[in-house]
Chain A
């Protein structure tokens, strides 16, 4: 399992990947796996009104990975994910933990065609 961010020839980085770079429109021809890296919480929320098939409450955070060591144009890349706990604060350091099913594929709008989307991914675990 990987947490793959896309890199274009101009050194712009995005998570998730896109066929073309959102910044400059060049093809993203490289990826970097962030799943073994730590990140810092930029902001977070605890959602208490969640859609069918989603845990309640659902604490999520946008986190920032420092990628300055890659020596690219972008020095950080952000990602959104569920948090393993409700105890989180802005500035906390987290590490990614893989989960098979982040929400129940058998419930909700996409339950008739669950193969159309992804269900597994990474939660943020405060260190």
Chain B
């Protein structure tokens, strides 16, 4: 059964006073209103969230949200796939409709993080690492530092190319009213910022963020009846890579990105050459290169050239992260994959406002851990 997206919303991302429940409720309610669907029509609810217990001492968020939004007795479930919980939520929502189990599925992703110190938040996220890595004090940013050094040394890529990813995504974020940072930066600012995980600096990393995002899924048939504009999930794939990062055959190949995108392209009957716009998981600038290579847009070791020649800018041949990406929009863990879906939906139905590009086919790649779990989603504008 064909699966359509008929509504989308996101809260303002950033440092928010609201706690997780309030953020989820806001995004969920606005999504139903966006689609003109009443709460009682919803059959399944998925809540993407990585660590409400660790961050807020709160569990059972799916049932709480179903109650608050008037969705009772809909089936509800929390989806945790660390940073790719949002993408995994898209996968679950797609499955629920494609299988015929649900005709109307609401997906809400969210995380509340900023009340913790940077050290505490880093420790919660680093707990995904294998004990053999965790005991050394490894953090996700330090994996990025080691991978970036290897990439730059091996492929002779200029350090400036990473700074250009940050500059581009900050420039895109200026036009996103829900982004954490609506502020342009210069290459010099990025290259002169404090070192966090050598050779990477502050502006190579996404911030710590509160926020929520939501999408509403139904069958293509139902969408054609009730929605003026909608998008179709034409391909989706999910894959897992090694838990221990150094065990990967090649440190610059994200196996989960390669496998999940191959699956998504196969289902959609499309290839990288068909993409008009994409949201990639730029938790660290280096990840934008590794994903461009993993999804087949660039050959191994060459994606940095696309940052240097403008290909991935908003007016370039393949705009990447028109939303501002995780870099400037922010990264509330469980919300990020859903927010990627919100952006490509808005691009496909022509609701992206000043960020709008011409797009009939769009891809979102959501990465959990350091590529440990990956979901790639391809959506197309309804014909």
Cα separation A91 to B137 with both chains bound (whole Å): 23
Which residues of A sit under 8 angstroms from B147, Cβ to Cβ? 43
Interface residues of A in 103-127 (CB under 8 A from B): 103, 108-110, 117-121
Q: Is the CB of A121 within 8 A of B123?
A: no
Contacts of B136 in A (CB 8 A): 58, 60, 80-82, 102-103, 121
Contact B130 A16 (CB under 8 A): yes
Q: Which of B135, B195, B251 meets A62, CB within 8 Å?
A: B251
The answer to whether the Cβ of B189 comes within 8 Å of any Cβ in the partner chain is no
Write the nearest CB–CB distance from A12 to chain B, whole angstroms. 11
Contact of B132 among A22, A110, A121 (CB under 8 A): A121
Q: Least Cβ distance of A6 to chain B in Å?
A: 11
Whether the Cβ atoms of A15 and B132 lie closer than 8 Å is yes
A80 (CB) vs chain B CBs: closest residue: B246
B residues 86-145 touching A (CB-CB < 8 Å): 118-120, 122-124, 126-127, 130-139, 141-142, 145
Please tell me if the beta carbons of B246 and A46 are within 8 angstroms of each other in the complex.
Answer: no
Query: Do the beta carbons of A16 and B251 come within 8 Å of each other?
Result: no
The CA-CA distance from A102 to B197 in the complex, in Å, is: 18
Q: B133 — which chain A residues lie within 8 A by C-beta?
A: 80
Q: Is the CB of A51 within 8 A of B137?
A: yes
Q: Does B18 contact A (CB under 8 A)?
A: no
Contacts of B124 in A (CB 8 A): 109
Which B residues are in CB contact (< 8 Å) with A28?
A: none
CB distance from B372 to the nearest CB of A (A): 13
Tell me the A43-67 residues at the B interface (CB within 8 Å): 43-55, 58, 60-62
Note all chain A residues with C-beta closer than 8 A to B127.
109-110
Asked if A60 and B135 make an inter-chain contact with CB atoms under 8 angstroms apart, the answer reads no
Q: Which residues of B contact A110 (CB under 8 A)?
A: 127
How many positions in chain A have a CB within 8 Å of any CB in the partner chain?
38
- Determine whether A38 belongs to the interface, using a CB cutoff of 8 Å to chain B: no
Which B-chain residue is minimally distant from A59 (CB atoms)? B198
Total contacting residues, chain B, CB less than 8 A:
40
Contact A52 B141 (CB under 8 A): no
Point out the residues of chain A lying under 8 angstroms from B137, CB to CB.
47, 50-51, 53-55, 58, 60, 82, 102-103
Which residue among A45, A58, A60, A61 has the maximum number of chain B CB atoms within 10 Å of its CB?
Answer: A45
Main secondary structure of the interface of A (DSSP, over half): loop
Of the residues A22, A90, A109, A121, contact of B247 by C-beta under 8 Å: A22
Bound CA span A98–B152, Å: 31
Q: Chain A residues with Cβ under 8 A from B182's Cβ?
A: none
- Is A79 part of the binding interface, using a Cβ–Cβ cutoff of 8 Å? yes
Chain A residues near B120 (CB-CB < 8 A)? 51-52, 109
Please name all residues of chain A whose beta carbon is closer than 8 Å to the beta carbon of B123 when the two chains form the complex: 51-52, 108-109
- Does B146 make an interface contact (CB < 8 A)? yes
Contacts of A90 in B (CB 8 A): 149-150, 153
B281 to A: closest C-beta gap in Å = 20
Residues of B within 8 A of A22 (CB): 242, 247
Instruction: Say yes or no: A47 contacts B141, CB within 8 Å.
Output: yes
CB of A110, distance to nearest CB on chain B (Å): 7
Question: Which A residues lie within 8 Å of B247 (CB)?
Answer: 14-15, 22, 78
**Are A60 and B134 within 8 A (Cβ)?**
no
Cβ of A72 within 8 Å of any chain B Cβ, yes or no, is: no
Q: Is A34 an interface residue (CB 8 A)?
A: no
B245 within 8 A of A: yes
Known: A14-B247, A52-B119, A78-B247. A46 touches B198 (CB 8 A): yes
Query: Quick check: is A42 within 8 A (CB to CB) of the other chain?
Result: yes
Interface residue? B160 (CB, 8 A): no
Chain A nearest Cβ from B345, distance in angstroms: 34
Q: Which residues of B contact A120 (CB under 8 A)?
A: 135
Inter-subunit contact A60/B142 (CB<8 Å): yes
B221 part of interface (Cβ distance < 8 Å): no
Complex Cα–Cα for A44 and B123 (A)? 20
What's the least CB distance linking A104 to chain B, in Å? 10
A46 with B153, Cβ < 8 A, contacts A16-B244, A62-B146 known? no
Known: A62-B246, A109-B127. 17 other contacts (CB 8 A): A16-B132, A42-B150, A42-B251, A43-B147, A48-B194, A48-B196, A49-B119, A49-B141, A51-B120, A52-B119, A60-B142, A78-B246, A80-B132, A80-B136, A80-B246, A82-B136, A108-B123
10 tightest A-B contacts by CB?
A45-B145, A54-B137, A51-B123, A43-B150, A16-B132, A47-B142, A46-B198, A43-B146, A78-B246, A62-B246
A-B contacts, 20 of them at CB < 8 A, read: A14-B247, A43-B146, A43-B251, A45-B199, A46-B198, A49-B118, A49-B122, A52-B123, A54-B137, A55-B137, A58-B136, A60-B136, A60-B142, A78-B247, A102-B136, A103-B135, A109-B124, A117-B135, A118-B132, A120-B135
